[in-house]
Amino acid sequence: MENSKPTNENNQNQGQKTQEGNKPQRNRRPNPHRQNSKPAQGQSNSNENGEKRNENRNRNRNRKPNPNRQGGQPRQEGQGNQSQGQKQANNNNRKPGNNNANRNSGGNKGRGGNKRKNVTTVNDTMRTSLEENKRVQEARMAPWKQIDLNSKGKVRFTPLGGLGEIGGNMAVLETETTAIVIDVGMSFPDETMHGVDILVPDFSYLHTIKDKIKAIVITHGHEDHIGAVPYLFKELKFPIYGTPLALAMIENKFNEHGLKGDSKYFRFVTKRKQYEIGDMKIEWIHNTHSIIDACSLAIETPAGILMHTADFKIDHTPVDGYTMDLRRYAHYGEKGVLCLFSDSTNSHNPGFTKSETVVGKTFDQLFEMAKGRVIMSTFSSNVHRIFQAMQRGVKHGRKICVIGRSMERNVETNRALGFVDIDDRHFIEVHEVPKYADHEVLIVTTGSQGETMAALNRMATDEHRHIKLKPSDTVIISASAIPGNEASVSKLMNLLMKAGVTVRYKEFSDIHVSGHAAQEEQKLILRLVQPKFFLPVHGEYNHIAKHAKTAVTCGVDERNILLMSDGDQVEITPKYLKKVKTVKSGKTYIDNQNNMTIENDVVLDRQKLAEDGIVTIVAQVSQSEGKLVGKPVVYTHGLVPDKEDKKFAKEIEQLLETMLLNMKAKGIPEHTVIENEIRAAVRKHIVRTKKRYPLIIPTVFVV
């Protein structure tokens, strides 16, 4: 290889480099402060450099041994030159910033041998400590391993509402001898359920296990958790355990449904205290949500500890100052939790859900901007939201008028319990509103979901008896549309815009915040509890599937997670989690005008009427001749346009004549048989010609 051996001049240069501390070879700039730094005229630089090299060589020969050098021995003459080739390569390959590494490697070989590396000695004591720390870490990350796998206990969990939907939450937890019902909520109908106001769960399974049911356990007072309790109590009655606010709201419902005496079933609970119900012990744990006094549940069963978050978010700055009791989650997590049931509603939302207090800051801005009346609409159960609006009303010198039956009832209940601390002098009745200037009035009302009969919708359609909207009014809708209500909310917005008022809705990002946990909050609960099994609840299938993925990232074995639907019954033991059967579930339709049940077939008939219309046929048939007597009377609604009625009636008449002609050979049967034949023949004709499936109602008189 070219230049593989150093020349004598190179050897001399390398010797100089050795004594200069293994610095890379480079051209030196003359030092202006050194005497005779510049060569005299006519004198060669090479001669001067040669003299300096000779001088350095002589100095090296006379150098005293360095006692700090490894081995304490002086370097032998020529020793530096023996490794110069290797050192030259090291210097050429040296990178900026790696000087220390190079000095500790090949560069030290020319100074008395290899320098010993600084290697940690792992002795037996250190190794024992490492193993002990690893054991502690593994135990900390899987506290459920404390659970006795030899236990014969088992529980069954059966959701009867709240899965595959938003709302209607209801579930049954049962052992061999005890069953409890967790929440009994209602949900809202979709646009195809004509004349239906609310939906309540099917209670059929509760009837089959009614002898085992020891209690109804309520987590909080939202409609989707307590709205169906009166309908259940009309069929079955059990003790109801809950916090004072939740039971007070149920009492209001009982009074409406003529069940005032059933308040004797109430059992008021204290948080952080266990209640023995059958062979279970239940503790209510305070959480933060969009309603006061919301709770999670810690349930000790023969199989192990179960935790149910119910609806929650982790609000570190709640309006009332009572933060979520995360220490109790950690407490039970340390003991070892067999299974966690957790709210999945916002499982697609990254990050954290904002605090309820940010809405108050938005209200400050909106009240400053408002010149006339302020009309604020939100969920009637979101008392913290209502309270913040009322506080701003008082601050800006406005009188507060509460409109809407559910809003009035909830505000008065919370004032009676001390959750809304606003003096009576700040409130006025609806008929007193005209007595005050517009800038002195705050109206708090229902209707944020566009409900037809709600107060805000009646104001927007100019049907409210007392409140007529003005262009100077500011309407604040502090809510988001519940899935399925988007069209109703949009319709309400259009009506308000046509009325000329100023509407404050989604253009202000903090005008509403959710009451449900986002992904980071869900992760925190999963990490605090560290359960063996995980069952995501409360939400549509895509919500619980996403929550399951979040749980896997937090250390839950995906084999220990099940995605359920309403009616699925899951058996939980210390050893396994599995679906064992499916029980009857579904919805019962309720007409809120009279609080009566609407039968399924009635709803189905309404749907068919709306989608395909109806055909009625009235005909007389001669028994002796087997022919029509006169022309049949044919009416249609929702099937053919009026201008085609005569044409369609003629088609039906010809169809009946042909059918009767075929019947005549066998004899004319009784009228019910003829009606069934007419129904089948007309349906076949309409499906073939119109591609519709209307209700067909034939009436035949045999004469």
Rounded average pLDDT over 304-312: 97
Q: What is the pLDDT of residue 192?
A: 82
- Looking at the structure, do residues 370 and 285 belong to the same domain, yes or no? no
Residue 561 gets which letter from DSSP?
A: B
Q: Which of 433, 480, 477 is nearest to 456 (CA)?
A: 477
Q: Which residues lie across from 534 on neighbouring strands? A: 340, 561
Rounded average pLDDT over 424-445: 95
Which among 589, 622, 643 is the end of a domain? Answer: 589
Buried b / exposed e along 161-193 (16+ C-beta atoms within 10 A)? bbbbbbbbbbbbbbbeebbbbbbbbbbbbeeeb
The answer to whether position 658 is within a domain reads yes
Of 199-213, 326-340, 603-617, where does mean pLDDT reach its minimum?
A: 603-617
Q: Band of the pLDDT at 78, cuts 50, 70, 90?
A: very low
The answer to whether position 543 is within a domain reads yes
CB atoms within 10 A of CB 28: 7
Q: What is the pLDDT of residue 63?
A: 52
Q: What is the pLDDT of residue 105?
A: 44
Domain extent at residue 457 = 357-504
- Looking at the structure, do residues 370 and 454 belong to the same domain, yes or no? yes
Residue 377 contacts residue 569 (beta carbons within 8 Å)? no
- Looking at the structure, do residues 494 and 384 belong to the same domain, yes or no? yes
The answer to whether position 34 is within a domain reads no
343 or 75, higher pLDDT: 343
Question: Which residues, other chains included, contact 305 with Cβ-Cβ below 8 Å and sequence gap of 6+?
Answer: 298, 299, 332, 335, 336, 337, 338
H helix runs in 422-569, sequence order:
455-460, 486-498, 519-529, 541-553
Q: What percent of the chain has pLDDT over 90?
A: 62
Rounded average pLDDT over 448-468: 90
Q: What is the pLDDT of residue 602?
A: 87
Q: What is the pLDDT of residue 606?
A: 86
The answer to whether position 231 is within a domain reads yes
Measured CA to CA, the distance from residue 218 to residue 532 in angstroms comes to: 25
Residue 427 gets which letter from DSSP?
A: B
Of 19-28, 313-322, 527-536, 577-586, where does mean pLDDT reach its minimum?
A: 19-28
Burial status of residue 227 (CB atoms within 10 A of its CB: 0-12, 13-18, 19 or more): buried
Residue 163 contacts residue 220 (beta carbons within 8 Å)? no
Task: Look at residue 55 and tell me whether its pLDDT is greater than 70.
Answer: no
Q: Which of 481, 493, 427 is nearest to 456 (CA)?
A: 493
The answer to whether position 191 is within a domain reads yes
Residue 414 has φ and ψ, to the nearest 5°, of -70, -30
Give the number of residues written for the chain. 703
- Looking at the structure, do residues 176 and 250 belong to the same domain, yes or no? yes
Rounded to the nearest integer, the mean pLDDT of the chain is 85
Each residue's pLDDT tens digit, 139-170:
999 999 888 888 899 999 999 999 988 889 99
**HEC readout, 626-657:** CCECCCCEEEEECCCCHHHHHHHHHHHHHHHH
- Looking at the structure, do residues 524 and 641 belong to the same domain, yes or no? no
Q: What is the pLDDT of residue 520?
A: 97
Measured CA to CA, the distance from residue 481 to residue 377 in angstroms comes to: 12
Residue 466 contacts residue 430 (beta carbons within 8 Å)? yes
- Looking at the structure, do residues 245 and 343 belong to the same domain, yes or no? yes
Q: What is the pLDDT of residue 666?
A: 67
- Looking at the structure, do residues 195 and 329 belong to the same domain, yes or no? yes
Measured CA to CA, the distance from residue 245 to residue 293 in angstroms comes to: 7
- Looking at the structure, do residues 408 and 426 belong to the same domain, yes or no? yes
Query: What residue type is 639 in one-letter code?
Result: L
Measured CA to CA, the distance from residue 689 to residue 625 in angstroms comes to: 30
Measured CA to CA, the distance from residue 159 to residue 538 in angstroms comes to: 10
The answer to whether position 59 is within a domain reads no
Q: What is the pLDDT of residue 599?
A: 85
Q: What is the pLDDT of residue 670?
A: 78
Residue 515 gets which letter from DSSP?
A: S
Query: What residue type is 305 in one-letter code?
Result: I
Q: How many domains does the chain have?
A: 3
Measured CA to CA, the distance from residue 39 to residue 32 in angstroms comes to: 12
| Torsion-angle region of 113 (φ positive above 0: left; ψ -120 to 50: alpha; else: beta) | left
- Looking at the structure, do residues 430 and 500 belong to the same domain, yes or no? yes
Buried b / exposed e along 552-590 (16+ C-beta atoms within 10 A)? eebebeeebbbebebbbbbebbbeebeeeeebebebbbb
Of 12-21, 49-58, 323-332, 495-504, where does mean pLDDT reach its minimum?
A: 12-21
Task: Look at residue 454 and tell me whether its pLDDT is greater than 80.
Answer: yes
N-to-C CA span, the chain: 124
Task: Look at residue 64 and tell me whether its pLDDT is greater than 60.
Answer: no
Which among 589, 624, 642 is the end of a domain? Answer: 589
Rounded average pLDDT over 195-216: 94
Q: What is the pLDDT of residue 296?
A: 98
The DSSP H or E segment spanning 297 is strand 295-301
- CATH number, position 426: 3.40.50.10710
Q: What is the pLDDT of residue 87?
A: 45
- Looking at the structure, do residues 389 and 242 belong to the same domain, yes or no? no
Of 85-89, 234-238, 481-485, where does mean pLDDT reach its minimum?
A: 85-89
Helix/strand/coil for 247: helix
How crowded is the C-beta side of 301, counted as CA atoms within 13 Å? 29
Q: Which of 342, 663, 399, 665 is nearest to 530 (CA)?
A: 342
Q: What is the pLDDT of residue 446?
A: 92
Rounded average pLDDT over 515-520: 96
Q: Band of the pLDDT at 669, cuts 50, 70, 90?
A: confident
Q: What is the pLDDT of residue 665?
A: 61
Task: Look at residue 447 and tell me whether its pLDDT is greater than 50.
Answer: yes
Q: What is the pLDDT of residue 120?
A: 78
Residue 319 contacts residue 357 (beta carbons within 8 Å)? yes
- Looking at the structure, do residues 227 and 244 belong to the same domain, yes or no? yes
- Looking at the structure, do residues 452 and 550 belong to the same domain, yes or no? no
Q: What is the pLDDT of residue 592?
A: 77
The answer to whether position 98 is within a domain reads no
Q: What is the pLDDT of residue 591?
A: 86
Rounded average pLDDT over 220-231: 94
Residue 564 contacts residue 582 (beta carbons within 8 Å)? no
Helix/strand/coil for 390: helix
Which among 574, 589, 604 is the end of a domain? Answer: 589
Rounded average pLDDT over 407-418: 93
Q: What is the pLDDT of residue 28?
A: 54
Q: What is the pLDDT of residue 671?
A: 80
Q: What angle in degrees, to the nearest 10, is found between the helix axes of 519-529 and 541-553? A: 50
Q: What is the pLDDT of residue 672?
A: 84
Q: Band of the pLDDT at 117, cuts 50, 70, 90?
A: low
Of 267-281, 498-512, 538-552, where does mean pLDDT reach its minimum?
A: 498-512
- CATH number, position 302: 3.60.15.10
Q: What is the pLDDT of residue 116?
A: 60
- CATH number, position 694: 3.10.20.580
Q: Band of the pLDDT at 252, cuts 50, 70, 90?
A: very high
The answer to whether position 521 is within a domain reads yes
